[in-house]
């Protein structure tokens, strides 16, 4: 469980006061025991494990629905593909469709605290790559949810 008092004290020490929105966002995030943060990690990896992974887990159901809508735009052809082509379709959508990619980034960035957003803007290019890789992993893990869609 996240120790919110400690976060507030650390932020006060850094002359940053967390607003209610930030506290609410942090309370919503699931804890991921395997996403550890240590001092010997680079700052991008720390950000990935502390911020990106919990947000991706929180937003997982929304990502699935957004991707189902994306599939509809392509006339549900996804459901006819063999598994290998489905995997390629997911990867292609996330890596090459800039409009879709930006939508996914917005779903993640909208869950950042003010301080996290400031950290993100310092190295957004590298963090965007990490973010999209995490989303891609989640979609590949959720492929069964996408395969079970009924075509009308």
pLDDT at 10: 57
Q: What is the pTM of this model?
A: 0.82
8 Å CB contact between 61 and 145: no
pLDDT tens sequence across 52-101: 999 999 999 999 999 999 999 988 889 999 999 999 999 999 999 999 99
Helix (H) or strand (E) holding 79: none
What is the distance, to the nearest Å, from the Cα of residue 140 to the centroid of all Cα atoms in its chain? 14
Per-residue pLDDT, averaged over 103-110, amounts to 98
- In the 8-state DSSP scheme, what is residue 148? T
8 Å CB contact between 107 and 62: yes
pLDDT at 14: 53
Return the exposure string of 95-105: e unless at least 16 CB atoms fall within 10 Å of the residue's CB, then b: eeeeebbeebb
List Cβ neighbours of 95 (8 Å cut-off, separation of 6 or more).
101, 132, 136
Helices (H), 31-77: 43-47, 53-58, 60-73
8 Å CB contact between 116 and 51: yes
Please, what is the average pLDDT of the chain? 88
Give the model's confidence band at 15: pLDDT under 50 very low, under 70 low, under 90 confident, else very high: very low
């Amino acid at each position: 469980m996240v120790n919110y008092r400690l976060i507030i004290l650390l932020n006060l020490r850094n002359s940053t006061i967390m607003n209610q929105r930030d506290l609410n966002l942090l309370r919503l995030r699931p804890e991921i025991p395997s996403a550890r943060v240590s001092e010997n990690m680079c700052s991008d990896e720390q950000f990935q494990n502390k911020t990106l992974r919990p947000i991706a887990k929180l937003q997982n159901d929304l990502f699935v629905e957004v991707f189902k809508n994306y599939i509809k735009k392509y006339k549900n052809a996804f459901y006819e593909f063999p598994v290998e082509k489905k995997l390629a379709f997911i990867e292609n959508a996330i890596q090459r469709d800039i409009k879709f990619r930006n939508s996914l980034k917005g779903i993640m960035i909208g869950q950042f605290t003010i301080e996290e957003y400031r950290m993100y803007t310092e190295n957004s290019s590298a963090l965007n790559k990490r973010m999209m890789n995490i989303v891609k992993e989640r979609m590949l893990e959720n492929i069964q949810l996408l395969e079970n869609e009924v075509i009308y």
